Amino acid sequence: MLGIFSISGLLILTTSVLMAVFMFFQGKRWLNVMWGTFCISVAFWGLGAFRIGAISEPGQALWWWKFAYAGVIFIPVLFTHFVYIFLGISRRWSIYLFYTLGVFYLLANLFTNFFIRDVRYIFNEFYYLTPTPLYTTFVVFIFLGLVIYTHTLLFRAYMNSRGEEKRRIQYFFLATLLGYLGGSFSFLPVYNFDIYPFLNLTVALYPIIMGYAIIRHRLMDIKIVLTQLFVLVLLAVILFQALVAPLGSQEQLVNVGVLIAIITVGILLVRSVMKEVQQREHIEGLYTELREANEHLKELMNIKTEFLQIASHQLRTPLTSLRGLLEMQATGGFDSLPAEERRKMQQDMFGAANNLNNIVNDLLDAMELEGGKLNFTWEQVDVSKLIQEAVDTLMPSYEKKGLSLAYNKPPALPKVEADEGYLRQVFLNIINNAEKYTEKGGLTITTTLKPGRIEIAFKDTGIGIDPEELPKLFGKFVRGKKSALVHTDGSGLGLFIIKKIVEEHHGSVTLESEGIGKGTTVRVMLPLKQTKNNNHVRP
Amino acid sequence: MSDHKRTKILMIEDNATHRQMYGLQFKQAGFEGFYTASTGQEGLDLVRKDHPDLLLLDIGLEDIDGIEVLKQLKADSSTADIPVIVLSNMREKDKGEQAQQLGAVDYMLKAKYLPREIVERIEQFLTSHTK
């Protein structure tokens, strides 16, 4: 008949193997693999204890003790490695050292008698091992030493963690309390403290809780785990009583009856717990979704406020000019002015209307681009021709300011799969922008063919950009401090629109400037072909 | 109206068209002492030099924000008594309340008033202020 020690071994073996298989099936994450391997080392102890508890011959018992310790030796080492991975600690030398020591004790265990030499008969039940000096060094330095070390690391991490991570470490502590504390009772009879290792039973729960914590770390609280543990312990005790009661006795019948009742109630309880867990998970999921939606809403509110603040100002300024000047003209306010001044006022009106038109167009473009519902017409576009056309269109405004506008046309360039209309807008915007912010010199455009893409560099000798401002300039309504001084009517949307269009082409756009007064280079990268999996090309 | 012919009104305004438009309207209304500055710094210098009777201040200036100009003027005992009317296209909710807390006597949204209406309102202010 099986004793408690043997039964505990069987339970440990079962749960460890099941958990190891489970962990390996969870995917090849290091943490899962590590815990699966750890469970195998515990399974060695389980199988060993199961056999030791049932053997009445010292030679065989000794063999099984050596077998069991082939696993036990690696329990603390693998646990340490696991904790390192979990906490993201990289102390390679120490891990190598622990594994080396593990291998050393393993070899000593398997091939010499320095580690395990003798067994003695105790509890009138089985043969227990007796210590050797080498065995004691293992217990003190490896087992106790590493357990204390790893738990210190975990405790420190626990103190510095929050939320789910904190809960996860709580599970670890619960698991190791059951595992190591229960398991350590098995060391007592080795050193003649003849207390029956009942608590070895708890080792069976250890892999389960840990595996659970690793995989479903945010699932339920400790109370529910404890409920499940309670049922399992109750089952184990009744099973034991049923097994030790005289065969066919009334006591055994009662125990079997109680066992069946507990199993039934246990299944119902566990099912209800699972249901509760699923509900809780569902609620947690809803909560997360709600929180994310709320964050998104807040972001939209901020964008709205930002839009109202800036767009309203940008729209009102030309409207104020237009409305005011028209009213003055209509009520004879310009009548007394000389013809030249009158014309100037009319030019101002046209300028304001033009500016308003540009801002409204930019706003609509930005909204359309941001909404992501673009109707692109993909065709083979001659980029070189498109740039030349943009250059020809804007040449008069460059000449008017005495600026140069040069396009270094390469001999031949392959066509690019793009939307011609949107791409034209990008080139016109960049060239137009450069003119606004350049007072001396001009703009040079260069196209270069690179593997699978075309690079277009627009290098001007304008006011340049403060390096600190560079990362921000592609945002909506963002204008460089210096640029706002030079050109007061910009919408702050130009670069945002350029970037959006280029990104829709799976390309990229970057701004380079060595600083204020040192000019700016806008670099546009466009892939030659648009494929489904086209990642954005980077310079 | 003729009382205000010699009234010195300084407008700090970055938009050239607005400067011209308001300038013309004020001049036509008989405010011969109307003049302008295009940046915050130029405006501060002129205020300190001329000590105008009224300052019309825009908020969205490029060099020094209008709010900052107002703070500096109110902190300086020699300029603190100059009445300031803020004339801006920024939402009143954003800047108007702040400007009035800092001592501006009024906040006018440019887009809401025609230049003529602005001149009328300022005439009203000057009349009640000089009584």
Nearest beta carbon to residue A328 from set B14, B63, B115: B115
Nearest beta carbon to residue A324 from set B14, B21, B63: B21
Neighboring chain B residues of A337 at a CB cutoff of 8 Å: 24
Helix (H) or strand (E) holding A328: helix A250-330
Residues lower than pLDDT 70 in chain A: 1, 26-28, 163-164, 214-229, 270, 277, 371-374, 472-492, 532-539
Nearest beta carbon to residue B24 from set A312, A321, A328: A328
pLDDT of residue A524: 93
- Phi/psi for B3 (5° steps) reads -60, -30
Cβ of A306 under 8 Å from any chain B Cβ? no
Q: At what angle do helices A4-24 and A206-215 cross, to 10 degrees?
A: 20
- Phi/psi for A309 (5° steps) reads -65, -50
Neighboring chain B residues of A312 at a CB cutoff of 8 Å: 89-91
pLDDT of residue A242: 73
Neighboring chain A residues of B22 at a CB cutoff of 8 Å: 324
> How many beta-carbon pairs under 8 angstroms link A with B?
67
pLDDT of residue A539: 44
Q: Is the pTM of this model over 0.80?
A: no
Residue B18 and residue B15: Cα distance in Å, rounded? 5
Cβ of A309 under 8 Å from any chain B Cβ? yes
CA dihedral A295, A301, A305, A306 (to 10 degrees): 50
pLDDT of residue A485: 44
| B21 with A328: Cβ contact below 8 A | yes
Give how far the C-alpha of residue A380 lies from the chain's centroid of Cα atoms, to the nearest Å: 39
Q: Which residues pair with A418 in a beta bridge?
A: A379
Residue A46 and residue A69: Cα distance in Å, rounded? 10
Distance from CA of A318 to the nearest CA of B (A): 9
DSSP letter assigned to residue A537: P
**Are residues A454 and A525 in contact, defined by beta-carbon separation less than 8 angstroms?**
yes
Name which of B11, B13, B15, B17 to mutate to probe chain A: the one with the most chain A Cβ atoms within 10 A of its Cβ.
Answer: B17
Residues lower than pLDDT 50 in chain B: 1-2
pLDDT of residue A491: 63
Neighboring chain A residues of B110 at a CB cutoff of 8 Å: 316-317, 320
Query: Both tokens of residue A199?
Result: 């608590």
Query: Both tokens of residue A439?
Result: 């007072």
pLDDT of residue B70: 95
Helix (H) or strand (E) holding A251: helix A250-330
Q: Note which residues in 424-483 of chain A have CB less than 8 A from chain B.
A: 481
Q: Which residue of A has its CA nearest to B115?
A: A324
Largest CA distance in chain B: 36
Burial of A1 from C-beta contacts in 10 A (0-12 / 13-18 / 19+): exposed
Q: Which residue of A has its CA nearest to B111?
A: A320
Count CB-CB contacts under 10 A for residue A394. Answer: 18
Tell me which residue has tokens 């809803």.
A286
